[in-house]
Amino acid sequence: MKAQRYGIIGLRRASASLQSTAPKIALPWVLARQIPLAGSFGNSNSSHGARRLYSQSPGLKERLSDAAQNEASNPAMAFPCLDALETRSATLEARSLSSGPEPAYTVGDVEIFRYEEPFLLDWGGVLPRFEIAYETWGQMNSDKSNVILLHTGLSASSHAHSTEDNPQPGWWEKFIGPEKCLDTNRYFIVCTNVIGGCFGSTGPSDIDPADSQRYATRFPIVTIEDMVRAQFKLLEGLGVEKLYASVGSSMGGMQSLAAGVLFPHKVGRIVSISGCARSHPYSIAMRHTQRQVLMMDPNWNRGFYYGKIPPHAGMKLAREIATVTYRSGPEWEQRFGRRRADSTKPPALCPDFLIETYLDHAGEKFCLTYDPNSLLYISKAMDLFDLGLTNQESAALRRQSGSLTEINNASCSLTLPDVPYAERTDTETQLDGSEISVPADSRPPQDLIAGLAALRDIPTLVMGVASDILFPAWQQREVANALRLAGNRNVTHVELSEEQSMFGHDTFLLDLQNVGGNVKNFLG
Torsion of the alpha carbons at 279, 281, 285 and 288, rounded to the nearest 10:
40
Reply yes or no on whether 505 is catalytic.
Answer: yes
Q: Which CATH class is domain 80-105+284-381?
A: mainly alpha
- 11-14: list long-range contacts, CB under 8 Å, 24+ apart: 11/35, 11/37, 12/37, 12/38, 12/39, 12/40
What percentage of the chain reaches a pLDDT higher than 90? 64
- Break the chain into its structural domains and give their ranges: 8-68, 80-105+284-381, 111-278+385-408+437-523
Inter-CA distances, 42 with 27, 52, 429, Å: 14, 18, 61
Kindly tell me if the per-residue pLDDT of 45 is higher than 60: no
Q: Can you give the pLDDT at residue 424?
A: 55
- From the list 250, 374, 379, 501, the catalytic residue is 250
Query: Rounded to whole angstroms, what are the CA distances from 147 to 189, 221, 408, 463, 518?
Result: 6, 29, 39, 21, 19
3-state secondary structure 331-399: HHHHHCCCCECCCCCCCCCCCCEHHHHHHHHHHHHHCCCCCHHHHHHHHHHHHHCECCHHHHHHHHHHH
Which pLDDT tens digit goes with each residue over 230-239? 999 999 999 9
Phi first, then psi: give them for residue 430, nearest 5 degrees: -80, 170
Q: What is the mean pLDDT of the chain?
A: 84
The pLDDT assigned to 244 comes to 99
Separation of alpha carbons 250 and 382, rounded Å: 10
pLDDT at 29 over 60: no
Q: How far apart are CA 313 and CA 311, in angstroms?
A: 6
199-223: pLDDT as tens digits? 999 999 999 999 999 999 999 999 9
pLDDT in tens, 134-181: 999 999 999 999 999 999 999 999 999 999 888 999 999 999 999 999
Can you point out the beta strands (E) in 216-367?
Answer: 245-249, 270-273
Residue of 107 and 179 predicted with greater confidence: 179
Instruction: Please give the Cα distance from 439 to 466 (Å, whole number).
Output: 17
Residue 63 — very low, low, confident or very high, per pLDDT cuts 50/70/90? low
Residue 386 appears among annotated catalytic residues: no
The residue annotated as part of the active site, out of 151, 161, 312, 505, is 505
Q: Which CATH superfamily is domain 111-278+385-408+437-523 in?
A: Alpha/Beta hydrolase fold, catalytic domain (3.40.50.1820)
pLDDT at residue 99 tops 70? no
> Which has the minimum average pLDDT: 32-41, 405-414, 492-501?
32-41
Question: Which residue out of 468, 501, 506, 511 is catalytically annotated?
Answer: 468
Residue 456: Cβ within 10 Å count:
17
Query: CA angle 322-326-331, nearest 5°?
Result: 130
What whole-number distance in Å separates Cα of residue 459 and Cα of residue 270?
6
Mean pLDDT of 427-449: 62
Biggest CA–CA distance in the chain, Å, is: 100
Question: Known catalytic residue: 468?
Answer: yes
